[in-house]
Amino acid sequence: MNKTVAEATAFAAALKPQLASLTATELLIFPSFFGVRPVADALHGTLVHVGAQDLYVEASGAFTGEVSALQITDAGATHVLVGHSERRHVLHESEALVAKKLAAALAGGLIPMLCVGETLAEREGGRMEAVVTAQLEAALAACAPAAAARVLIAYEPVWAIGTGRNATPDDAAFMHAVIRAWLAARFGGGLGTSARILYGGSVKPDNAGSLCACDGVDGLLVGGASLDAASFTAIARAASAG
């Protein structure tokens, strides 16, 4: 819940001159709902994708305050976040609701980015693998392999988001391997290898390169450090180098 429409379009305007030097990195921005159309328009003709931060499970109807996949695509977005840690832990979305949102995104032609991750208590209790694989199972249970192949996955260790306590590259590599092993077991080895899995959790310019250098880490889901265009582009450059 950051940036007015004017601030979001100013961000896009500040980003555009940097894009010529970022062609090796695929960029995706998730503005608030009000910013999706203006940012998509501002970045039209570039290689930057625009996504929405959430969606509702139904295609249309009497669901005051909600936003559908059709409305999101009509606004110019191609992607949508599903199951972000703040939706799960601040707004108390259940695993069943996350699964329905993932299905709605796929049915609506969007590319969902499914977020999974454990809390500090779950990690300290040695349950991180069980928690993350249970989240994957709940969200992807109804997906055929072809549908699952369209899903991007973001591993978000909740304990490393805005806490000052960072996951190490080894932490990230281990959990990405866990996710790939689960995908391979559930859908076949091909998806375990080809799935695009991102890391998200206190990503900054100074750790982006080392995180992206980890085996199995395909990119980064950036939080607060993405709000400034200069920081965002610095992370993109470091990620590309990593």
Indicate which residues carry an active-site annotation. 84, 156
Find the helix or strand (DSSP H, E) in which 131 lies: helix 128-140
9 within 8 A of 42, measured Cβ to Cβ: yes
Residues 6+ apart with CB under 8 A from 175: 128, 129, 132, 155, 157
DSSP 8-state assignment for residue 79: E
DSSP 8-state assignment for residue 109: T
From residue 201, alpha-carbon distances to 24, 41, 166, 167, 179 in Å are: 23, 29, 7, 7, 16
CA distance 166 to 161: 8
CA distance 73 to 85: 23
Query: Which residues are paired to 197 by β-bridges?
Result: 153
CA 180 to chain centre: 16
